[in-house]
Each structure stands twice: as C-alpha cells, then as structure tokens.
Amino acid sequence: MIIVFKQNAQAEEKARLKNKLEQQGFQIHASEGVNSSLFGLVGDTSALSISDLMVNDCVDKVMRVQEPFKRANRAFHPENSIVNVDGVEIGGKKIQVIAGPCSVESIEQVTGIAQDVKLAGATLMRGGAFKPRTSPYSFQGLKELGLDYLKAAKAATGLPIVTEIMSADKIERFVEDVDLIQVGARNMQNFELLKELGKTNKPILLKRGLSATIEEWIMSAEYIMAGGNDNVILCERGIRTFESFTRNTLDLSAIPAVKKLSHLPVIVDPSHAAGMWWMVEPLAKAAVAVGADGLLIEVHNDPEHARCDGAQSLKPDRFANLMQDLRNIAQIVGREL
Ligand code: PEP
Ligand code: MN
C-alpha cells in the first residue's frame, strides 16, 4: 500500500502516522523525492481501510499495490535508485561499463585486461573466480586464488571488482574483497543465497534466470531487499527461447519493462545473450538505445585460448572501438558514457 502526502504535509504529522502504523505491525519505507513524498507499507494491509487513512489531513491519496513485489516497486520509490559501487554510481546519468574476462586465468591475464578496458573507458572490471559450468569436467575457476588475482588487478587499476558468488558459505570473503557481488542466472532463484545476501549491505548484481519472467526476476530482487539490502542492480543476459542460432535471446523489451515496474538500475550483458563476439557490438548499442544503465561485456586478450566463453569475448581493441560508438549513442539518448 502507498500513502502519498500532500505537498504541505508537516514532518510531525508524517512521523505520528508512521509511529501508529508501525505499532500496527507494518514496515514503513519513506520516500522523499523532488516531486513526491510517500510511505510504502509492507505487511498484510488487507484489513487497512483507505477511507480511515484518508482521515489524516496530511494524506493526499492512498493506493493498493497490485504487484507482489513491494520494496522493488517503482510505486514505493518513484525516482530511479542509484547504487554506489565503491564510488561508481550505477543508475544515474552516466552509463557504466563492466568489462573483463569470463574467468580469471592468471594474475597477468586479469591485470592486463583490466588495464586495457580501463583505458577504453570501462569503470568496473569483471572476472569469474567461481564458475557455474554446465559440465563438471569443465574449468571451474581459480576460486579463492582468483579473488586474490582480482584484488591485484584492482590495486593496479583502481577498478572495482565484479565477480560471481555461488554459495552462501563464501559471503564473508566476498563482502571483504568484492565490490559488486554477482548472482548468476543459474542462482537467480537460490532463495537461501538471496536471503543471506539480503543481510549484507553490499551491492548485488542479480542476473535474470535462464527462463525467468520479469516478475520472477524482480521477486528475486525483493528477496534481497526484504532482508534490508536495497543495493540491487538487475542484469538482463538473454533468456531461453525456441531460437537456437544465438546462445540466448536478448530480451531488450525487459529494459523499459523493468524501468516501468521498478526503481532499480538495470544493465545488459550482450555477451552471454549472443554467445558470439560479432553480435555483442550491435546488441550493446541497442541496449544503450533502450535505456540500460550499464553493460557487462566479456573481453579477453586471447579469446582462442580462453578457458571459458572465448567465442563471445571481444579483443581489447574491438572493445575500445565499441566504447567510442556507444558514447555517441549515449549522447543521443541523453546519457553519458
Ligand atoms: C558470467 O557472467 O560469466 C555468467 C556465468 O553469466 P550468467 O549467469 O548470465 O550465465
Ligand atoms: Mn562467461
């Protein structure tokens, strides 16, 4: 339920109402925007009567929220949320680009690529240390050592670290060493992991599940937020469809849809959607055009010999050219890059 206040509502009146509602067992999310001031109520509001609430002089209108997600709902927070990742703001005017290899292979590899992508304008770096592979016989990542190498690459470049977590027992280490914790597509509905991440205050990059609807995806964000962690960024990375030419089908319509339904930032990963490096460029451009707040792009210095996802990785020089094109598109849509 949303309680919207009148322009001239006094702080004391709002505080009094907040107190009363909290005593009735509701959680209140106050949102003070430039154009609106409101309370979002979480709890069983079915017994609350709209006309009883309207009796309060400071209240302008009261609405019930139809969607099952509350904290992630744009109605709760009409303005775009901005998530601060170690000083890099995701969700504001500037489109942020996360780039790096699928998996961390060596200290030289990840540091070298981080230097290259930084030079091209990337503002965060990625690299998988714990890899969710379809086959148990495929490279599973360097694990803790990979995190050490990512830290070395950060020390060399200053770029914040984005890397995937696969199990809750690693949270302590990730909170210590990682700036943006990625929850991969395969774990989007690992609810126990989401609940544990909700207890931290670390930014979380929540990828869309392979066959998840937009509502299911936002509900997973709600799991993290329900624990008190509002620092959630969504990532569209392609979904399963009948089409087999591409690795996945990039659902570009999800970007404006999420923007309408939620205040959370949303970025696009064209690499895992396409599965082919030559398609990453047009899809990245399209993502910026439809309003993505950022991109996640796989870049490798030697894709032919990459231990994971070489076929979809851009070489650093191609990535640099793409960044130049993206800057022009960003400007047309009123953004910066
Ligand atoms: C990745 O980013 O390397 C990855 C495994 O992504 P996804 O979870 O989208 O498949
Ligand atoms: Mn990958």
Inter-helix orientation angle 277-289/316-332, to 10° = 20
User: What pLDDT, on the 0 to 100 scale, is given for residue 36?
Assistant: 87
191 contacts: CB under 8 Å, gap ≥ 6: 220, 223
What ligand 1 atom has the least distance to the C-alpha of 187?
8
User: What pLDDT, on the 0 to 100 scale, is given for residue 33?
Assistant: 85
* φ/ψ (deg, to 5) at 120: -80, -10
The identity of residue 207, as a single letter, is K
User: What pLDDT, on the 0 to 100 scale, is given for residue 47?
Assistant: 87
Rounded CA separation 158/72 (Å): 31
Distance 115 CA to ligand 1 centre (A): 22
Distance 314 CA to ligand 2 centre (A): 12
* Residue whose pair of structure tokens reads 């994971």 in the numeric block: 308
DSSP conformation class of 312:
G
Characterise 121 by phi-psi region: left (phi > 0), alpha (psi -120 to 50), beta (else): left
Alpha helices, H only, the chain: 11-23, 50-54, 107-120, 144-157, 171-177, 191-198, 214-226, 254-261, 270-274, 277-289, 316-332
What is the residue with the minimal CA distance to atom 10 of ligand 1? 185
What is the residue with the minimal CA distance to atom 1 of ligand 1? 102
What is the residue with the minimal CA distance to atom 6 of ligand 1? 184
* Residue whose pair of structure tokens reads 């451009």 in the numeric block: 285
Distance 217 CA to ligand 2 centre (A): 20
User: What pLDDT, on the 0 to 100 scale, is given for residue 34?
Assistant: 84
User: What pLDDT, on the 0 to 100 scale, is given for residue 35?
Assistant: 83
Ligand nearest to the CA of 267: 1
The identity of residue 3, as a single letter, is I
Using alpha carbons, select from 240, 247, 175 the residue that is nearest to residue 208: 240
What are the C-alpha distances in Å from 266 to residues 54, 245, 286? 35, 25, 14
Strand ranges for 49-160 from DSSP E = 59-63, 83-85, 88-90, 96-100, 124-126
Distance 311 CA to ligand 2 centre (A): 10
Rounded CA separation 139/124 (Å): 24
Residues forming a β-bridge with 201:
none
Query: pLDDT tens per residue, the chain (337 residues)?
Result: 999 999 999 999 999 999 999 999 999 999 998 888 999 999 999 889 999 999 999 999 999 999 999 999 999 999 999 999 999 999 999 999 999 999 999 999 999 999 999 999 999 999 999 999 999 999 999 999 999 999 999 999 999 999 999 999 999 999 999 999 999 999 999 999 999 999 999 999 999 999 999 999 999 999 999 999 999 999 999 999 999 999 999 999 999 999 999 999 999 999 999 999 999 999 999 999 999 999 999 999 999 999 999 999 999 999 999 999 999 999 999 999 9
CB 217 within 8 A of CB 202: no
Pair type for strands 96-100 and 266-268: unpaired
CB 189 within 8 A of CB 209: yes
Pocket test for ligand 1, best of 98, 187, 207, 271 (most atoms within 8 A of CB): 207
What ligand 1 atom has the least distance to the C-alpha of 207?
9
Distance 141 CA to ligand 1 centre (A): 13
What ligand 1 atom has the least distance to the C-alpha of 308?
3
Q: Which residues of 80-117 are buried (b: 16+ CB within 10 A; e: fewer)?
A: bbebebeebebbbebbbbbbbbbbbbebebbbbbbbbb
Residues forming a β-bridge with 236:
268
Rounded CA separation 301/31 (Å): 45
Pocket test for ligand 1, best of 103, 113, 272, 313 (most atoms within 8 A of CB): 272
Pocket test for ligand 1, best of 131, 164, 204, 249 (most atoms within 8 A of CB): 164
Q: Which residues line ligand 1 (CB under 6 A)?
A: 102, 128, 132, 184-186, 207, 237, 269, 272
